[in-house]
């Protein structure tokens, strides 16, 4: 008999992604015949626009099927650099861009090449649930900068300053935010930059994956455009999943200072190599086209965000700070007297509604609902939630 295999310390503490797990569970239950409404994973329900699919299909047909440069197709890297320069006001050259397997690998690679034991990473909380796990996988420790719904999930410059220590290596900014929908405006970013100028050891990564998904009246700003003097320690993560409805394609990017991008490319060369060759050609078609399809989908999400917010507002005991972007609502339902894990388990069991517990995002009072679903599905989800509340 052989001894049981022992997992590494790294793997032992690792939590699987709950957003993906709940979405998969909802799918499974539905396949097994249960009547399920899923407002769990943040995934556009639209198909990838036809011209993007056609570009990838044509590349595949033309034999674009071999290993490519690890850091990405040169034309795609160049197009991403041009997008950052022209659309975001962040002057970027091709060698400052790494094409990654979705935004997730961009973050993972960055954390791996930048962080190690003894380092701390500041995460404004509520946070997207993969950040702390990825930080720990890099041997570093997350440190939370707790924000409250009552203040629109914003932190003040003083609160930021108070959490910075000599061991703070990185600040993660996610605007528009998953799960809260908070959007950092220009003034917020200027105030953050002023604090960062006093702490030269702190780098920043801006996760801009929801860049295009904004409620009317809100604008996306890149910290790197607002504070160009900090460029030597600013990183941008973004990708095609949310804006172009390309979640399954797994194409994203990391942009920032050259030596770090080169190190992240070296890491990628020893792990996953290039991102799928023909998927990159679809991404190239997407990013070099105008933004009509992106804005058309974003408009639909805005209408649904509004619809979901209004519907939630009608359910007793639900307190919602209206999301300013992304495609989630993160209401406080603590008045119902259940912790978020129990609540989400009971919602699934009792009314067939799949949503994500706020605990996974750092706030046990809340649950996360995605509005990346048709209006009829949102209404169905709202009905189920109201029915559950009614029975409590």
For residues 309 and 321, give the distance between their C-alpha atoms in angstroms, rounded to a whole number: 9
> How many chain residues are in contact with ligand GLU, going by CB under 6 A?
8
CB of 20 to ligand GLU, least distance (A): 5
CB of 244 to ligand GLU, least distance (A): 15
CB of 355 to ligand GLU, least distance (A): 11
CB of 103 to ligand GLU, least distance (A): 8
Q: Which is nearer to ligand GLU, 130 or 175 (CB)?
A: 130
Q: Which is nearer to ligand GLU, 100 or 178 (CB)?
A: 178
Q: Which is nearer to ligand GLU, 128 or 244 (CB)?
A: 128
CB of 214 to ligand GLU, least distance (A): 17
Q: Which is nearer to ligand GLU, 68 or 323 (CB)?
A: 323
Per CB under 6 A, which of residues 13..32 are in contact with ligand GLU?
17, 19-20
Q: Which is nearer to ligand GLU, 160 or 251 (CB)?
A: 251
CB of 201 to ligand GLU, least distance (A): 29
CB of 348 to ligand GLU, least distance (A): 16
20 phi and psi angles, rounded to 5 deg: -70, -40
For residues 16 and 297, give the distance between their C-alpha atoms in angstroms, rounded to a whole number: 30
Q: Which is nearer to ligand GLU, 283 or 372 (CB)?
A: 372
Q: Is 94 in the site for ligand GLU (CB under 6 A)?
A: no
Among 39, 41, 138, 378, binds ligand GLU (CB under 6 A): 41
Q: Which of 263, 194, 180 is nearest to 229 (CA)?
A: 194
CB of 281 to ligand GLU, least distance (A): 24
Q: Which is nearer to ligand GLU, 46 or 157 (CB)?
A: 46
Q: Is 42 in the site for ligand GLU (CB under 6 A)?
A: yes
Per CB under 6 A, which of residues 147..206 are in contact with ligand GLU?
178
What is the SS3 assignment for the chain?
CCCCCCCCHHHHCCCCCHHHHHHHHHHHHHHCCCCCEECCCCCCCCCCCHHHHHHHHHHHHCCCCCCCCCCCCHHHHHHHHHHHHHHCCCCCCHHHEEEECHHHHHHHHHHHHHCCCCCEEEEEECCCCHHHHHHHHCCCEEEEEECCHHHCCCCCHHHHHHHCCCCEEEEEEECCCCCCCCCCCHHHHHHHHHHHHCCCCCEEEEECCCCCCECCCCCCCCHHHHCHHHHHHEEEEEECCCCCCCHHHCCEEEECCHHHHHHHHHHHHCCCCCCCHHHHHHHHHHHHCCCHHHHHHHHHHHHHHHHHHHHHHCCCCCECCCCCECCEECCECHHHCCCHHHHHHHHHHHHCEECEEHHHHCCCCEEEEECCCCHHHHHHHHHHHHHHHHHC
For residues 39 and 322, give the distance between their C-alpha atoms in angstroms, rounded to a whole number: 17
| Site string (110-139) toward ligand GLU, x via CB under 6 A | ------------------x-x---------
Instruction: Return the range that interacts with ligand GLU (CB under 6 A); candidates 12-20, 57-65, 272-280, 344-352.
Output: 12-20
CB of 41 to ligand GLU, least distance (A): 4
Q: Is 38 in the site for ligand GLU (CB under 6 A)?
A: no
Q: Which is nearer to ligand GLU, 278 or 330 (CB)?
A: 330
For residues 386 and 247, give the distance between their C-alpha atoms in angstroms, rounded to a whole number: 30
CB of 17 to ligand GLU, least distance (A): 5
Q: Which of 141, 177, 145, 183 is nearest to 161 (CA)?
A: 145
Nearest residue to ligand GLU, by Cβ distance, number only: 42
Q: Which is nearer to ligand GLU, 38 or 302 (CB)?
A: 38
Report the DSSP pairing between strands 367-370 and 328-329: antiparallel
Sites of contact with ligand GLU (CB under 6 A): 17, 19-20, 41-42, 128, 130, 178
């Amino acid at each position: 008999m052989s001894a049981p295999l022992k997992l590494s310390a790294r793997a032992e503490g690792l939590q699987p992604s709950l957003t993906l797990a709940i979405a998969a569970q909802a799918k499974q239950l539905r396949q097994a015949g249960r009547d399920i409404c899923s407002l769990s994973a943040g995934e556009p329900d639209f198909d990838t626009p036809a011209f993007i699919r056609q570009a990838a299909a044509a590349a595949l047909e033309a034999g674009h099927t071999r290993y490519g440069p690890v850091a990405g197709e040169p034309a795609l890297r160049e197009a991403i650099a041009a997008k950052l320069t022209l659309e975001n006001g962040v002057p970027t050259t091709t060698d400052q861009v790494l094409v990654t397997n979705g935004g997730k690998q961009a973050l993972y690679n960055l954390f791996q090449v930048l962080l190690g034991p003894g380092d701390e990473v500041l995460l404004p909380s509520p946070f997207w649930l993969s950040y702390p796990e990825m930080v720990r996988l890099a041997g570093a420790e997350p440190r939370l900068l707790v924000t409250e719904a009552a203040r629109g999930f914003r932190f003040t410059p003083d609160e930021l300053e108070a959490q910075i220590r000599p061991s703070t290596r990185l600040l993660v900014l996610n605007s528009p935010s998953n799960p809260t929908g908070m959007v950092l405006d220009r003034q917020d970013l200027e105030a953050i930059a002023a604090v960062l100028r006093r702490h030269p050891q702190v780098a920043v990564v801006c996760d801009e994956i929801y860049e295009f998904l904004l409620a009317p009246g809100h604008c996306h700003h890149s910290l790197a455009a607002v504070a160009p003097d900090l460029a030597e320690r600013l990183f941008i993560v973004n990708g095609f999943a949310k804006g172009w409805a390309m979640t399954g394609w797994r194409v994203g990017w990391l942009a920032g200072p050259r030596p770090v991008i080169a190190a992240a490319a070296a890491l990628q060369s020893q792990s996953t190599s290039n991102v799928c060759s023909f998927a990159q050609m679809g991404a190239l078609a997407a990013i070099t086209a105008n933004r009509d399809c992106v804005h058309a989908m974003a408009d639909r999400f805005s209408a649904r965000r509004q619809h979901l917010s209004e519907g939630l507002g009608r359910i007793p005991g639900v307190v919602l700070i209206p999301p300013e972007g992304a495609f989630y609502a993160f209401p406080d339902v603590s008045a119902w007297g259940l912790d978020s894990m129990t609540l989400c388990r009971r919602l699934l069991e009792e009314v067939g509604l799949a949503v994500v517990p706020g605990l996974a995002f750092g706030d046990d009072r809340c649950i996360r609902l995605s509005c990346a679903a048709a209006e009829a599905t949102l209404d169905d989800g709202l009905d189920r939630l109201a029915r559950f509340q009614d029975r409590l």
